[in-house]
Amino acid sequence: MTLPPEGDPVGLLGRVRDAFRLRWKRRRTLWRSLRSRHQLESVADRTGAIRPDQILGFTTLRNEIDRLPCFLEHNRKLGVSHFLIVDNGSDDGSAAWLAAQPDVSLWSTRASYKASRYGVDWLTWLQIRYGHGHWCLTVDADELLLIPHWPDRTLVDLAAWLDARGETAFGALMLDLYPEGTLAETSHQPGDNPLETLHYFDAAPYRARRKPFEWSLWVQGGVRDRFFFADSPRRAPTLNKLPFIRWNRRFAYRNSTHSILPRHLNLAYDGPGGDRASGVLLHTKFLPSVVERSVIEKARREHFGTPGQFDAYYDAIAANPSLWNEKSLAFRDWRQLEELGLMARGAWR
């Protein structure tokens, strides 16, 4: 087991105080989530079909019709049996398309994404209600999970292996993929597999540290760090996630799926370079549509704690840059990523 970070109190009193504060923090979070259920309106409820031991997928999305067919297909192959999706006011037909899928239960809301802690409150409620005791995969629509041995082995195999070892969480690094030319120039058509357009990634550098008190990991780096945040590296996006967890209704994601309470679950992932089994979330954000989207998102101000500070980031994307350079690597398979130290098989041989 990984040791907790330095800087935590050693004395009994300090530990008790920390435990108490964290417990109430978690309860407050759960309470928010419980309240947020009133914002959700059921569109298609097929949750009656959920059987025990099935793997469930949880997603919040807005206007993702381009990615959805591939997203669902990938996750079905991965072993997700049922999807519980919150649609945050899409107007591109995502909702209607999803509602027609046989393994999707859909809720919709027009409430603020930011006010619900970037969708986490909604999903936490659904996880309390439906996810208890299940292995739950919580990902965004632009993230495709890659696990060791894929496609020879699936999440079902992984879940059983983790169960046998008594582990409850599985971590992954978010790896930004980008195209070869400028972002908007690629010949991507809506519905195409994003991985056919986005080939390239930054193999390094990634830096990780563990925060005291909440024990959450903080990994930054990669292409967005290099290209958009070279002058303010502190603000670069967090790249570690805990997407796959055997859920308990007392759990609560804190900051998107980057960190979770109770805090010991955060120790399940060591970040890139780690040698326990971990995966990679292939981040397909940089499809051509991202250019116009960033203009919209800049105006909506629904992302980031202090949206004003990220205007430059949105402007830089809207300028349609090319993220590629001759040191970029082309994505091949999980073995390549393991060789680079970005994911690991660990003891799952």
Partner 1 sequence: MTVGFVMLVHTALERAAQVARHWAESGCPVVIHADAKVPDGDFQAFCDSLGDLENVAFSARRQRCEWGTWGIVGATIEASERMLADHPSLSHVYLASGSCLPLRPVPELVAYLAERPRTDFIESVTIEDVGWSKGGFDHERFSLRFPFSFKRQRFFFDRFVDLQRRFGTVRKLPEGLVPHLGSQWWCLSRRTLEAVLRDPRRSEYDRYFRQVWIPDESYFQSLARLHSVRIESRSLTLSKFDFQGKPHTFYDDHLQLLRRSDCFVARKIWPRAERLYSSLLSNDPRVTKNAEPSPGKIDRLFAKASDLRVRGRSGLYMQSRFPRSDRSAGPYSVFEGFDSLFENFESWLGKVTGCRVHGHLYNPSRVEFSGGEKTYNGCLSDSARLRDYNPCGFLTGLLWNTRGERQCFMFGPADNQYPQVFMAGDPNAQISVITGAWAIGLYRTNITSEVVRKEAARLQRIEHAHVELLRERWTKAQIRIWTLAEFIEAPMDNLQEILDEISLNGPRRLTEAPRLMDLSGFGQFLQQLKNDGMNLHMAGDFPVGHTPAPLNPTARPYLVK
Stretch near partner 1 under the rule CB under 8 A, chosen from 17-25, 198-206, 286-294, 313-321: 198-206
CB of 346 to partner 1, least distance (A): 6
In the window 300-339, what residues touch partner 1 (CB under 8 A)? 325, 327-328
Quick one: how many helices (H) and strands (E) in the chain?
A: 10, 15
Q: Residue 187 or residue 325: which is nearer to partner 1 going by CB? A: 325
CB of 157 to partner 1, least distance (A): 6
**Residue of the chain from 43, 195, 204, 316 that contacts partner 1 (CB under 8 A):** 204
Q: Residue 110 or residue 349: which is nearer to partner 1 going by CB? A: 349
CB of 327 to partner 1, least distance (A): 5
How is residue 110 annotated by DSSP?
Answer: -
Q: Residue 302 or residue 338: which is nearer to partner 1 going by CB? A: 338
Q: Which amino acid is at 279?
A: G
In terms of Cβ atoms closer than 10 Å to its own Cβ (0-12, 13-18, 19+), residue 308 is: exposed
Torsion of CA 288, 291, 293, 299, to 10 degrees: 180
- Strand, coil or helix: 276: coil
Q: Name the pairing type of β-strands 279-283 and 169-176.
A: parallel
CB of 318 to partner 1, least distance (A): 22
Q: Which amino acid is at 41?
A: E
Measure the CA–CA gap between 103 and 101, rounded to whole angstroms: 6
In terms of Cβ atoms closer than 10 Å to its own Cβ (0-12, 13-18, 19+), residue 107 is: buried
**Residue of the chain from 209, 250, 332, 335 that contacts partner 1 (CB under 8 A):** 209
Stretch near partner 1 under the rule CB under 8 A, chosen from 20-28, 38-46, 148-156, 252-260: 148-156
**Residue of the chain from 30, 104, 223, 343 that contacts partner 1 (CB under 8 A):** 223
**How many Cα atoms occupy the beta-carbon half-sphere of 262 within 13 Å?**
10
Q: What are phi and psi of 125, to 5 degrees?
A: -60, -45
Place of tokens 């959450």: 216
Give yes or no for residue 176 binding partner 1 (CB under 8 A): no
Q: Residue 190 or residue 233: which is nearer to partner 1 going by CB? A: 233
Give yes or no for residue 156 binding partner 1 (CB under 8 A): yes
Give yes or no for residue 217 binding partner 1 (CB under 8 A): yes
Stretch near partner 1 under the rule CB under 8 A, chosen from 83-91, 101-109, 271-279, 281-289: 271-279
Stretch near partner 1 under the rule CB under 8 A, chosen from 22-30, 35-43, 90-98, 202-210: 202-210
Give yes or no for residue 271 binding partner 1 (CB under 8 A): yes
Cα distances from 308 to residues 298, 300, 305, 315, in angstroms, run: 9, 11, 9, 12
Give yes or no for residue 274 binding partner 1 (CB under 8 A): yes
**Residue of the chain from 275, 292, 311, 315 that contacts partner 1 (CB under 8 A):** 275
- CA-derived radius of gyration, the chain: 19
Cα distances from 151 to residues 79, 133, 157, 211, in angstroms, run: 11, 25, 11, 34
Q: Give me the residues that bind partner 1 (CB under 8 A), please.
A: 2-3, 6, 149, 152-153, 156-157, 160-161, 164-165, 202-205, 207-210, 217, 219, 222-223, 225-226, 230-234, 267, 270-276, 325, 327-328, 341, 345-347, 349
